[in-house]
Structure 1
């Protein structure tokens, strides 16, 4: 089952360039993982310090492998230093069918 994962983060405005560089590195690392399909990065229209990453994975298990990976943990340590609060993560499946 293909899923999309929305990750919402708020960064300190003075660190948006640094955040961008770290998120690009995160994308490159995620691309190496089994099940990665694609991702997009969106910024807030009224507050560009809000960044949402939408990633697509072949399965919830593939996403969980990335989520628990050492690469992601190391990148999150860097991101946490420039975020104003913790990240919000919400996985989604397509349509109205109940997850199995």
Structure 2
């Protein structure tokens, strides 16, 4: 199993729009092959700083989802809402 951390910074005043698109993205990820679980967190000191934590069966499963047309379509909606490009970190057990 791997854990993926996605860090995003939302543009000011677009929090509600982000929430709608991010929920749809997570709903699609849930049905992706290899997806185990996920959660979305907001920084208590900065509500525009968000982290998505997800668990995947393997790196290959994550990359299949990451490169999927479904995710690309959702990112086309999310990218204009973000202040900076999202940062993705993939973690494995040592």
Question: Alpha carbon RMSD of aligned pairs, Å?
Answer: 0.7
Residue 13 of structure 1, CA deviation: 2.3
Q: Give 1:59-74 correspondences, 5 Å limit.
A: 59-74=58-73
Query: For 1:13 and 1:41, how far apart are their aligned partners in 2?
Result: 18
Instruction: For residues 17-40 of structure 1, give each alpha carbon's deviation from its aligned partner in whole angstroms, at most 9, with x where no partner exists.
Output: 111111110111111111000001
1:36 aligns with 2:35: yes
Residue 63 of structure 1, CA deviation: 0.2
Instruction: Provide the residue aligned with 1:77 in structure 2.
Output: 76
Where is the strand percentage greater, Structure 1 or Structure 2? Answer: 2
- TM-score with structure 1 length normalisation? 0.91
Residue 42 of structure 1, CA deviation: 0.7
- Larger Cα-atom Rg: 1
- TM-score with structure 2 length normalisation? 0.97
Query: For 1:75 and 1:8, how far apart are their aligned partners in 2?
Result: 16
Query: For 1:38 and 1:15, how far apart are their aligned partners in 2?
Result: 26
Structure 2 unaligned residues grouped into runs of 5+: none
Q: Give the ranges of 4+ consecutive aligned residues of structure 1 lying more than 6 Å apart after TM superposition.
A: none
